[in-house]
Structure 1
Amino acid sequence: MNVSCKEQSAQQVCKKENFNDKQVDVIQYAMDHGIEDEHLFLLLNEDMLPEQMKRVLYGLMYGLDPDDVKLYAQTDMSVEAMDQIRFALMKEDERHLIGLLLQKGLDVEQMIQIRKGNRLPYQYVELYAEPFYDVEQMREIRSGFEHGLSFQQVCLYCDARFSSEKMYYIRRGFEYGVDFHTAMEYAQPDLPAESIYHAVQKEKRRSSMKRREAIQCCMVW
């Protein structure tokens, strides 16, 4: 007759493995709080740090599907990264981003930028959810979409060769009303940030002048 884990202590369950005391404590807590035997195996990994085991336990106790918890129950994932995956799984409007969050090479701050794009169309988030963009570059690309720029406009500066500062100036240019073809002239990765800044300011002044002239014409009529 099989004996369930509930009828044993964590020490008995773990006796054949090399679990340390802190790991045993987490397993015992899981058993005491009703984690089912068939789900307990997610914790029974002696290579998993106690804090990693806790993240697995938090997911199970919250009610996440064990198959979802498996996604982040990985010994090579940092505790902070596990938290980001778990938080996204717990929010219905972020679950579609899990595949992007599970990419290798992302740090926690990059994962946060991806999660912040949860209200954008998936293809927009996919555009900047790449490990080769730093956090500030990701923020500039996301901000472009959030400020109403078109996919084509954002794609013009969605290039890792642009620093976040250059991306900012190009984005602001579009927000000032610079047309796409004009922006193409100064949106060059090899141009210094200062040159892009001055080009944008020049176009901003030109646009302002045109608006003033249009207003004056209306007043005359």
Structure 2
Amino acid sequence: MTNLADLIRNRRSERGGYDPDRRPPDADIRAILEASQWAPTAHNMQNFEVIVLDDPAVLAEIGRVPGGVSAEFIRENYAQLSFSEDELIAKGTGLPATMFPPEWRQPETPSDDQPAADLIEHGFLDQTMRSCPLVLIVVYDTRKRAPASEGDVLGLISLGCVLENMWLTATSRGIGLQVMSVFSDTGIETRLHEILTIPDHMKIAYACRLGYPATQPARYLRVRRPLEHFVHRNTYTRHLAPTR
């Protein structure tokens, strides 16, 4: 695919297992990294670094880091699920429940003071990484921020631009990608700082696992809100008129 509109519409999060013996070619990896290089950033700060992980020994060591799914994730994820295609289409947002394990689809979500040990998936990062041959970790310098940006919102937008550039480039080359936000979890991030000798002032924004699906990826219904539901014209109370 070379058409930008097609790339945007066909970009997906490839959540299944990847073929550990099929590594993306160096030329494709470089193209993805060059896409990050040209991402727009606030004040052209370019306040990010990318760590390429493709050494099997390093990936294996990271895979042994204890991970898991928090009760908070399960609670908040459940609120976004739809349990039929009709429900998903009507909402226009969220994900089908069938994408997640049965134990994550229970209405009895834990309260803030409940550990929900029976719902939390205990394990290690290798279960998340699914034997992928390549991981990119994006880090940023916490000592810097965009001028006059409360909470460094502009800096966070910049990191999102970096991700989108890399993701669309990977899609254009037939490479699967999934964002792994778990890498920025406090406990996991501390261990990764030790393994990868990341300086204390650099924080992990997110990680991406890249590769080729080991099996034919399961396709699920994807929904988006119609433009007239979220686009406003000249005033917030006036929505964009539907196309006739």
Q: TM-score range by the shorter chain?
A: under 0.3
Q: Whose radius of gyration is greater, 1 or 2?
A: 1
Structure number having the greater helix percentage: 1
TM-score (structure 1 length as normaliser): 0.18
Structure number having the greater strand percentage: 2
Q: Which has the higher contact order (CA 8 A, sep 6+)?
A: 2
TM-score (structure 2 length as normaliser): 0.16
